[in-house]
Amino acid sequence: MKNKKITFAIISSIIIILATLFIYKRNNLLSSKIEWGYYLNNEKIANMPKFNQDDGIFFEHAECDNGASIEWDNKRWGPILKNLTKSNTKCSLYFIFEKKEIAGKVVPLAKISDGLYKVAHDVSEIDEGWNQEEYRYAGANPNNYVKFNNEIWRIIGLVNVKTANGVEQRIKIVRTDGIEVQKNFGNYAWDRPEEYTNNWTTSKLKDMLNGIYYESGTGECYTGKNGRTSAQNTCDFNSGTDLPKGLDETAREMIDKEVIWNLGGSSTDQDVTVKMFYERERGTSTGNSNTYPAEWSRETDVGEKQNGIGLIYPSDYGYATNGGNLGRETCFAKALSDWNSDKGNYQIECGETNWLKSSSGYLWTLSPRSSSFDSAFYVFIWSIDYNSVPISYANSVWPTAYLVKNVTITSGEGTIDEPYELSVQ
């Protein structure tokens, strides 16, 4: 009986092997007789475009007859045939070469490599204008370097922002080198240690950025080591000795001081995805039981500062990943607080492929924790968090601004060696 079982097992294995070989040879024979067609922007081309050589080209869809179908392999940049049962099957592959004009500069869009990505929104509970498609730079090191204030800043993208005329689009930039004190003090508190609140309109950090930093002056600031308590100091943004210099006149002219910054927050970071942050940032849920303003403009400001400089939003960070091997949509579906986890490779694929990640530790964002008065969200290396560091502690600060509508890119390639150069028309 035992020998019969062994013989049956051997025969079954041989049958499976022969069947597999038959299917493999049949598929090879059939696939060798496929008639391929290639289209770029709906125009027929002779050969399939190579992605690495044609930046901005990406696969759109495929059409096959005889019931066959195509699954596209982004990593290998090639088709995977499905349901192929007949020879002489015809399959057409359609590709798109898409570009977007950013301040007069035509920039290729990308879906696979680092570059400029289209971001679609579906926000149902706030102004429909927030659903306009945005164009954001994503990846570990995209070509979004720009010369601003005689320094190297980076372009977040062409993004939606509220104005007196409704939701419009502006170029948004950020100084990713930060403005940390070179000696003694370190980083900056979101608000002062005494009587602090997560109301940005009264924040001491807001006052500093739109006061002595904006005007290249000297005055009060609250500083300390990264992730530690802060104390009152005097910061000099004029001499360029211990601190980088503040904004010059040309830079100030390029900043749109009339836009309205949204101050909506979230009560938690648990299970909150980038798309959820985007909606909550533009909502009315703010800090301290929603008693704080949901917007920051000249009309709502306390202290009558210039209102030109803010911070990044949590969603700015989230949309700056290209998703690595997981893909952007997989990262977008994962809570930003979980990007710090090595489970599922989110840390590497979502965090490391993000040019806005904070390698220096804690980095402040503009958004408050709406269920408290003492917390704001921050980037912690790869993820978004709020509960380890209160707003009276010092974190890294990356000044962020929207540029005026008539700014143009006059030269440059967006690389660190050839950054974009700007002018106001």
Strand 35-40, strand 90-97: pairing: parallel
pLDDT at 216 over 90: yes
Q: How many residues appear in the chain? A: 425
pLDDT in tens, 302-328: 665 567 899 999 999 999 999 888 888
Domain boundaries, given as residue ranges, for the chain = 2-97, 113-424
What lies within 8 Å, CB to CB, of 423 at 6+ separation is 407, 408, 410
**pLDDT tens-digit map of 280-306:** 999 888 877 678 888 888 777 766 556
Q: What percent of the chain has pLDDT over 90?
A: 43
pLDDT at residue 345 above 60?
yes
pLDDT (0 to 100) of residue 27: 47
Assigned token pair, 388 = 């380890």
Burial of 92 (0-12, 13-18, 19+ CB in 10 A): middle
Backbone angles phi, psi at 202, to 5 degrees: -115, 5
Please tell me the predicted confidence (pLDDT) of residue 309: 95
Q: By mean pLDDT, which of 80-89, 140-149, 284-293, 394-403 is the weakest? A: 284-293
The residue that leads in pLDDT, 360 or 255, is 255
User: pLDDT digit string (tens) for 371-386?
Assistant: 888 889 999 877 888 7
Q: Which of 269, 267, 266 is nearest to 340 (CA)?
A: 269
Listed residue (104, 118, 103) closest to 56, CA to CA: 118
Tell me the mean pLDDT in the region 329-358. Answer: 87
* Cα–Cα dist 246/217, whole Å: 7
Q: 360 or 216, which is more confident?
A: 216
When the pLDDT of each residue in the chain is averaged and rounded to a whole number, the result is: 85
Q: What are the residues facing 37 on neighbouring strands? A: 92
Higher-confidence position of 214 and 287: 214
Residue 88: Cβ-neighbour burial (10 angstroms; 0-12, 13-18, 19+): exposed
Helices (H), 342-383: 346
- The mean pLDDT of 394-422, rounded to a whole number, is 94
Place of tokens 């150069």: 421
Q: How far is 125 from 283, CA to CA, in rounded Å?
A: 8
**pLDDT at position 144 over 90:** yes
Residues 111, 75: Cα–Cα separation, whole Å: 12
Please write the tens of the pLDDT for every residue from 331-344: 999 999 888 876 66
d(CA 98, CA 40): 10
Measured CA distances, 131 to 121, 127, 167, 278, 279 (Å) = 5, 8, 9, 11, 10
Q: Which one-letter amino acid corresponds to residue 255?
A: I
| Helix, strand, coil in percent for the chain, rounding step 5 | 20, 35, 45
Asked whether the predicted pLDDT for residue 19 surpasses 60, the reply is: no
Which pLDDT score, from 0 to 100, does residue 5 have? Answer: 53
Distance from C-alpha of 48 to C-alpha of 93, rounded to nearest angstrom: 8
Q: Which two tokens stand for residue 3?
A: 């020998």
- Measure the CA angle with vertex 257, ends 419 and 131; round to 5°: 80
Concatenating the DSSP letter of every residue in 230-285 gives -EEEEEESSS-SSS-----HHHHHHB-SS-BEE---BS--TT--HHHHHHHHTSS-
Distance CA 109, CA 115 (A): 7
Distance between CA atoms of 4 and 79, rounded to whole angstroms? 45
The pLDDT confidence band at residue 98, using thresholds 50, 70 and 90, is confident
Residue 361: per-residue pLDDT: 77
Dist. CA 391–CA 381, nearest whole Å: 18
For the entire predicted model, the pTM comes to 0.80
Give CA–CA dist 86/27, Å, rounded.
9
Q: What percent of the chain has pLDDT over 70?
A: 85
Average pLDDT over residues 221-225: 88
302 forms bridges with which residues in the sheet?
A: none
Using alpha carbons only, give the angle 353, 268, 298 rounded to the nearest 5 degrees. 85
